């Protein structure tokens, strides 16, 4: 299988053969050959994750470490804070934080997760997970921007998987009960059949769950070990997308990009108080102004009336009026039994309850702005 240009061979994750053996339908995604669905299909996979536990191969994502030569958290945190708006200096040991790499205009180069280990041997280190389609851009940008004494170390030693759903904790606790002590956005060590794994309690579905970087040499064995549990089924990219859409989570290149600020995107919650006041990150002037005065546009949730979904690119209009925005993500939400969408509208149209028209197949379809997310998250606080 090749990429869209018909020439470039697609990459494969260490779990590729597992998916083929399970009869997955493989598709190109972010330069990789990835499973979009298995025999159950997207709808059943989505609902299984909401009710039980789904296992996702996300080994196409980029993993890297930032390391300070002086082994100081202060040093490595300040280096990263020059690139992102989150408070990394205040990130406690054993905790993870969501943030964005920003360009000089406050646009989002990528969104990423940043974790600080509680292991004293890794003091002065940060663990990063970035998007698959942006990892080359991200790593190049960071390497060019980091000060002396702070090193970026991309890693291909792990196959990242995500175990998501209300039964995920019970599944992992069957191997190591200490996993029950971790709260949402915590990181810690667990032992799964003799393999030590530094996992995080996080994910991309709106459900409780974990992301586990499996050592490549053990990845296939541990994958099979997990799906042998009757509570666990493999889940493809199709359900991953519908799950994250219902959870109101952004997809890079669709809901956010280099023209979008975190404030416009509804991500101001990820900029902590100290950083809002101090600035010191790329595009701070724009972002601080938007925080104070409000942005010109905002990402909103949209519920179309009827059953027809409004896909990405659908034009958003005032009722019987002019175009005001575009749908950035849209589809059918199995958990809410109806179509759901997200897009950008002027701030004066962003209040829940505001009526809109979506132009689907050339005809206006009534819709309403709603509060995000579309489902209530079940994170363990």
Lowest average pLDDT, out of 43-47, 166-170, 197-201, 317-321, goes to: 317-321
Quick one: pLDDT band at residue 3, thresholds 50, 70, 90? Answer: low
Q: Facing residues of 325 across strands?
A: 316
pLDDT of residue 119: 92
Residue 216 lies in a domain: no
Query: Judging by beta carbons within 10 Å of its beta carbon (0-12, 13-18, 19+), is residue 120 exposed, middle or buried?
Result: exposed
**In a domain? residue 213:** no
pLDDT single digits (tens) 269-313: 999 999 999 999 999 999 999 999 999 999 999 999 999 999 999
Q: For residue 8, what pLDDT band results from cuts at 50, 70 and 90?
A: confident
Q: Which two tokens stand for residue 318?
A: 């005032």
Domain assignment present for residue 69? The answer is no
pTM of the model: 0.96
For 171, the 3-state DSSP assignment is helix
In a domain, residue 307? The reply is yes
pLDDT tens for 209-228 read 999 999 999 999 999 999 99
d(CA 220, CA 143): 32
What pLDDT is recorded for position 4? 63
Residue 298, both tokens: 């905002």
In a domain, residue 377? The reply is yes
Say if 126 falls within a structural domain.
Answer: no
Asked if residue 310 is part of any domain, the answer here is: yes
CATH number of the CATH domain containing 337:
2.40.30.110
Q: Is the pLDDT of residue 2 over 70?
A: no
For residues 64-76, one letter each, b for 16 or more C-beta atoms within 10 angstroms of the residue's C-beta and e for the rest, the string is: bbbbbeeeebebb
Look at residue 306 and tell me if it is in a domain: yes
- Tokens for 281, please give them: 């990150």
Half-sphere exposure of 275 (CA within 13 A, CB side): 25
Residue 341 lies in domain:
296-381
Convert the pLDDT of each residue in 70-95 to its tens digit: 999 999 999 999 999 999 999 999 99
Token output for 215: 């050592």
Model confidence pLDDT, tens digit, residues 161-207: 999 999 999 999 999 999 999 999 999 999 999 999 999 999 999 99
Q: Which of 57, 99, 101 is nearest to 212 (CA)?
A: 57
Our count of domains for the chain comes to 1
């Amino acid at each position: 299988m090749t990429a869209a240009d018909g020439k470039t061979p697609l990459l494969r994750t260490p779990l590729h053969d597992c998916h083929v053996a399970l009869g997955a339908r493989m598709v190109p995604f972010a330069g990789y050959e990835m499973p979009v669905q298995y025999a159950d299909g997207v709808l059943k996979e989505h609902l299984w994750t909401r009710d039980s536990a789904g296992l996702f191969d996300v080994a196409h994502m980029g993993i890297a470490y930032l390391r300070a030569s002086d082994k100081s958290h202060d040093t490595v945190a300040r280096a990263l804070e020059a690139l992102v708006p989150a408070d990394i200096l205040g990130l406690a040991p054993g905790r993870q934080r969501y943030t964005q790499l920003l360009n000089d205009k406050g646009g989002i180069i990528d969104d990423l997760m940043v974790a600080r280990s509680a292991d004293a041997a890794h003091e002065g280190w940060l663990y990063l997970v970035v998007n698959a389609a942006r990892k080359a851009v991200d790593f190049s940008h960071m390497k060019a921007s980091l000060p002396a004494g702070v090193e970026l170390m991309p890693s291909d030693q792990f196959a990242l998987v995500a175990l998501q759903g209300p039964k995920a904790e019970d599944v992992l606790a069957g191997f190591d009960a200490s996993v029950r002590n971790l709260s949402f956005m915590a990181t810690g060590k667990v032992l799964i059949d003799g393999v030590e794994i530094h996992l995080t309690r996080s994910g991309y579905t709106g459900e409780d769950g974990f992301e586990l970087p499996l050592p490549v040499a053990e990845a296939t064995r541990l994958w099979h070990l997990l799906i042998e549990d009757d509570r666990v089924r493999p889940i493809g990219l199709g359900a991953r997308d519908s799950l994250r859409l219902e959870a109101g989570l952004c997809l890079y290149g669709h809901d956010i990009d280099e023209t979008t600020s975190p404030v416009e995107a509804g991500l101001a919650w990820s900029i902590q108080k100290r950083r809002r006041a101090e600035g010191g990150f790329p595009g701070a002037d724009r972002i601080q102004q938007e925080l104070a005065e409000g942005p010109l546009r905002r990402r909103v949730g949209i519920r179309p009336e009827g059953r027809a979904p409004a896909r990405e690119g659908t034009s958003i209009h005032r009722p019987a009026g002019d175009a005001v925005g575009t749908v950035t993500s849209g589809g059918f939400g199995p958990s809410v039994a109806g179509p759901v969408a997200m897009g950008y509208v002027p701030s004066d149209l962003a209040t829940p309850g505001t009526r809109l028209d979506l132009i689907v197949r050339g005809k206006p379809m009534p819709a309403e702005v709603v509060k995000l997310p579309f489902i209530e998250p079940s994170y363990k606080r």
